[in-house]
Amino acid sequence: MQPLQVGVFTNSMRIDDPLAALAKAKELGLGVVQIGPLADEWYQGDAYQRIAACLQECGVVPSAICAAYPGESYADQDAVRGTVGLLPEAFLAERMALTKLVADLGANLGVPILTTHIGVMPEDPADPGHHRLVDAVQEIADYLAPKGMRFAMETGQETGPAMKEFLAAVGRDNVGVNFDPANMILYGTGDPIEALEVLRDHVLHVHCKDGEWPTVAGQLGTEVPLGAGAVGVERYLGKLKEIGYAGPLVIEREAGEDRLGDITRAKELLERLR
């Protein structure tokens, strides 16, 4: 994998079959992929061997693998707070079990990083939910460590300083962030470039995504094609270079009717500016 090589999050292509998604990434000229989330069958038995063979055949390198959970909703801020990640106590045990299955698949494929949204961090460190998240992330980190893997938490549902404080509370060397600049905007949690400076020593993996700020209280902002929103792709890439980030630039596109077209145009933009 080359420094700042452009890749794609396979989920963005809206192709359920991971083998077909890898073939499409190759067709689009993208040699790096973030894998997942996948149907349950791919986490069982020797199904990973089919993915491994396809990765080799396509000449595609997996930069990360993503865990997501049944029952999550991103309809609005309250839905995110109540359903996403490892915060909802009622779903924690089953979501931790699924996270470990994803980790096992990643280890079998030689993927170095596991990513997920852990949920909206309670602002008060004394909140039981905060303690629950710290314990969960520590458990995941300790599960990943013997596999030689790191855990990258998706940014955006909290401010940069709040994430930095949370990382300090977790206290694990193999935990950092998957930095997504658009999420800072979509959730209204702060300027992404300022947050990137705060988290500069903790960036393990990044997304390249764009968005517009929320206009209605309690709602999320609007995701738009890369380069059409408030992120400022040129300054984002400039800041990544300034902090010494040399990993892949992984395109994520979660909205829109022309996902493949948007991904292709994002690839062209990133390759021109990187």
Q: How far apart are CA 203 and CA 226, in angstroms?
A: 20
How much is the pLDDT for 123?
83
| Three-state SS annotation for 221-254 | CEEECCCCCCCCHHHHHHHHHHCCCCCCEEECCC
How much is the pLDDT for 119?
95
The answer to whether the beta carbons of residues 196 and 237 sit under 8 Å apart is no
* Nearest to 222, CA basis, from 76, 13, 117: 76
* Nearest to 97, CA basis, from 130, 128, 143: 143
How much is the pLDDT for 244?
98
Pairing of strands 6-9, 32-35: parallel
Angle between helices 259-273 and 233-242 (to 10 degrees): 50
How much is the pLDDT for 268?
98
CATH value of 6-273 in 3.30.1490.190, 3.40.50.720, 3.20.20.150, 3.40.50.2020: 3.20.20.150
Q: Which residues have C-beta within 8 Å of that of residue 181, sequence separation ≥ 6?
A: 192, 193, 196, 207, 208, 209, 210, 231, 236
pTM comes to 0.96
Under-50 pLDDT residues of the chain: none
Region for 188 from its dihedrals, namely left if φ exceeds 0, alpha if ψ lies in -120 to 50, beta otherwise:
left
Give Cα 108 distance to the centre of its chain.
20
- Which tens digits make up the pLDDT trace of 189-239? 999 999 999 999 999 999 999 999 999 999 999 999 999 999 999 999 999
Look up residue 90 and give its DSSP letter. G
Look up residue 4 and give its DSSP letter. T
Q: How far apart are CA 73 and CA 82, in angstroms?
A: 8
Q: Token digits for 240?
A: 């990544």
